[in-house]
């Protein structure tokens, strides 16, 4: 039997009527002759609620119990989805991660897949089951503890199952009808793309476009999974939504294909750090050990005189998620106390956002950065930090200008026009 993976996100299973609606989409594929693996998220808002319960019960929570609690949201929807399908006379059953088993590392709340053995689910398909409903976002560690994959992780569960079971396609049903040139909730001019290359989607996701979890795109690219994003609220057919695919399957060739943003960033600057070989390692080692996800880094020559003689110093700026500022500060202060680094001052700016333009066309086009900076200048948006790679340019700016910057860049690069 050909096999499809269908994933339904939180808003697509937000209540019983929507679960029924999703189930009828699954039934249609079964009627077309597919066996289906359905991956479900928790009902919309549920995971946030569970996270809040954990934090209120134990601010410095045990990560294993955090995972045990937050994974439960998906268990409820998996069971309900199986019931809804059974009500439609579709032979279905639910599977929690440990029952499959979805074996992961024991990095709680950021676990990665180790193996997904097919035997249990295949045996049930062989007995006539048509749909395996699997709880997304979760797995089980070698120690036998429940793990989770990080927020948005059900996308990754879906792609991993598509790869493990050789699915014809992995359909991600969500509350938008595809991948857009930018978040349609930020810009009314955002345009739906029929296709997008894995690499571009990977950049957009990692730069903040939460329509797909970054890791899911990585896996899809590695295992050549045909990945599609489409609406769970509209009538859809084989041509609906956006297909994430190889670069050479794409006709449209724009230099820039999307604009992404990440709202909750912070910028931290260590002023007048003693400059010597190994200083970057001495700063970023402790940050990594404290679990701070450092993103952009800028180092500038600085000046300092001590006891009448000038000494070599540098200013080191980095960005990280705003939620990790406390952790980063502590790591730096501890390193200073321990004599690992010397600096005069630590400056925090917690009101910044990152805006990025992405496109594989940038590889062969010069001048994209200049165009981007001109567009921001025309809106009087000051750039605080810049980072570039082969196919993206990111800037850190004041958060209050984020929407304005996204819209200006979307216009400048003509993304509203096909």
Beta strand 345-358 with 258-274: parallel, antiparallel or unpaired? antiparallel
197 to 236: interface string for ligand ADP, x by CB under 6 A: -------x----xxx-------------------------
Q: Is 73 in the site for Mg ion (CB under 5 A)?
A: no
Which range of residues in 18-26, 106-114, 181-189, 244-252 is near ligand ADP by CB under 6 A?
181-189
Q: Is 15 in the site for ligand ADP (CB under 6 A)?
A: no
The DSSP code for 409 is H
Q: Which does 136 bind (CB under 5 to 8 A by kind): Mg ion, ligand ADP, ligand ASP, none?
A: ligand ASP
Q: Is 208 in the site for Mg ion (CB under 5 A)?
A: no
Token readout for 274 is: 């003693």
Token readout for 25 is: 């989409």
CB 280 within 8 A of CB 316: yes
Q: Is 183 in the site for ligand ADP (CB under 6 A)?
A: yes
Distance CA 3, CA 164 (A): 11
To the nearest whole angstrom, how small is the minimum distance from the Cβ of residue 31 to ligand ADP?
A: 24
Paired strand residues for 271: 345
By CB under 5 A, what part of segment 338-397 binds Mg ion?
Answer: none
Distance CA 94, CA 245 (A): 30
Q: Which is nearer to ligand ADP, 39 or 397 (CB)?
A: 39
Q: Is 178 in the site for Mg ion (CB under 5 A)?
A: no
Residue 98 neighbours by CB distance under 10 Å? 18
Which range of residues in 41-49, 96-104, 348-356, 369-377 is near ligand ASP by CB under 6 A?
41-49
Q: Is 152 in the site for Mg ion (CB under 5 A)?
A: yes
Token readout for 337 is: 């106390």
- Torsion over CA: 280, 283, 287, 290 (sign): positive
Distance CA 291, CA 219 (A): 23
Q: Exactly one of 11, 47, 103, 141 binds ligand ASP (CB under 6 A); which one?
A: 47
Paired strand residues for 299: 316
Q: Is 73 in the site for ligand ASP (CB under 6 A)?
A: yes
Q: Is 174 in the site for ligand ADP (CB under 6 A)?
A: yes
**CA–CA distances in Å: residue 357 to residues 143, 377, 415:** 42, 16, 11
Binding residues for Mg ion (CB under 5 A): 9, 152
Residues within the interface to ligand ADP (CB under 6 A): 9-12, 41, 152, 174-176, 179-180, 182-185, 204, 209-211, 258
């Amino acid at each position: 039997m050909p096999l499809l993976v269908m994933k339904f996100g939180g808003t697509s299973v937000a209540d019983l009527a929507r679960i029924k609606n999703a189930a009828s989409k699954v039934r249609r594929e079964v009627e077309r002759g597919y066996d289906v693996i359905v991956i479900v998220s928790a009902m919309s808002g549920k995971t946030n609620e569970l996270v809040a319960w954990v934090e209120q019960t134990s601010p410095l929570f045990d990560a294993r119990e955090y995972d045990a609690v937050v994974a439960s949201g998906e268990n409820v929807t998996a069971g309900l989805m199986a019931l809804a399908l059974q009500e439609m006379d579709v032979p279905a059953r639910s599977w929690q991660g440990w029952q499959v088993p979805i074996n992961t590392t024991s990095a709680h709340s950021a676990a990665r897949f180790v193996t997904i053995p097919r035997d249990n689910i295949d045996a049930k398909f062989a007995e006539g089951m048509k749909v395996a409903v699997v709880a997304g976002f979760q797995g089980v560690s070698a120690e036998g503890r429940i793990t989770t994959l990080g927020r948005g992780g059900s996308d990754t569960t879906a792609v991993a199952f598509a790869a493990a079971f050789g699915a014809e396609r992995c359909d991600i049903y969500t509350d938008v009808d595809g991948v857009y040139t930018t978040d349609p909730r930020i810009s009314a001019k955002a345009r739906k793309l029929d296709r997008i290359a894995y690499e571009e989607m990977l950049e957009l996701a990692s730069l903040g476009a939460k329509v797909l979890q970054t890791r899911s795109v990585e896996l899809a690219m590695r295992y050549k999974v045909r990945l599609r994003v489409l609406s769970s609220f509209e009538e859809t057919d084989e041509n609906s939504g956006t297909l994430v695919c190889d670069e050479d399957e794409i006709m449209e060739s724009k230099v820039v294909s999307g604009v992404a943003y990440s709202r909750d960033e912070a910028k931290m600057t260590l002023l007048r750090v003693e400059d010597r070989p190994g200083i970057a390692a001495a700063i970023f080692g402790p940050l990594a050990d404290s679990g701070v996800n450092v993103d952009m880094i800028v180092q500038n020559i600085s000046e300092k005189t001590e006891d009448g003689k000038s000494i070599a110093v540098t200013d080191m700026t980095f960005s990280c998620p705003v939620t990790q500022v406390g952790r980063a500060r502590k790591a730096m202060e501890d390193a200073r106390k321990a004599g690992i680094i010397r600096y005069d001052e630590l400056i925090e700016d917690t009101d910044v956002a990152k805006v990025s333009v992405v496109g594989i066309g940038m590889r062969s086009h010069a001048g994209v950065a200049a165009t981007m900076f001109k567009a921001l200048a025309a809106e009087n948006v000051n750039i605080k930090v810049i980072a570039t790679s082969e196919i993206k340019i990111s800037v850190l700016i004041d958060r209050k200008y984020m929407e304005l910057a996204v819209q200006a860049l979307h216009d400048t690069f003509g993304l509203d026009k096909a």
